[in-house]
Amino acid sequence: MLVILLLVWLFVDERERSNRLSKIVNKLTKENEDLKRGYFELLEKYLETQSNVAPDVISELQMLKSKTDNLELAVHYEIDSVIRLVNQGDGAKAVKDLAKIVETKLKEKVVTDQTFKKQPKLHFLLEHARDCNWIKPRAFENGMLLKDIRNEESHELAVQKKSIEIGIAIFGGIEILYALS
């Protein structure tokens, strides 16, 4: 009888732990979805305030926002920190951090690509991604802007860039991340 009670207790305890774990996973999934949508909405509002942003950039951003499930959770957290930097007015630092994320994802992608023979620097990685059709030519150009701002931020003091350049670089970096996922 004691063995039966012990087995029932273990079964109930395991089931309760499983239910608690499911609730936690569901809560974290919802928070993750809210976070993903939030940074896209913030970026969209930022770009809408800029007078010289083409309407197709906003529509592309909305299309990317609809595909938020494709990125890994770790990348979402990194992008969230990038958006926080933009919100704090440190756009050049945000671009520098986003360039690091893009470069890391490109390096991961070329590890298995036997045709990539150059040094794994952002410039060569972007060229290879364009040549392999992993990214579109416009994404390549935006990636080069991302690289240029990153280099300037890394080598100069108090970098001041136009907000439109920051917005396009961030949009381009996010677009590249989605293209690679």
Q: How many CB atoms lie within 10 A of CB 99?
A: 25
- Per-residue pLDDT of the chain (181 residues), as tens digits, is 666 655 556 566 666 666 666 777 677 777 767 766 677 777 777 766 766 666 666 666 666 666 655 667 777 778 778 877 877 778 888 899 999 999 999 999 999 888 998 999 999 999 999 999 999 999 999 999 999 999 988 888 887 877 788 888 888 898 898 888 7
0.75 exceeded by the pTM? no
Select from 173, 155, 171, 163 the least CA-distant residue to 99. 173
Please report the pLDDT score of residue 53 as a whole number: 61
149 neighbors 165 (Cβ within 8 angstroms):
yes
Sign of the Cα torsion 166, 168, 172, 174 reads positive
Annotate 149-170 with DSSP letters as a single string. HHHHHHHSSS----HHHHHHHH
The beta strands (E) that lie in the chain are given as none
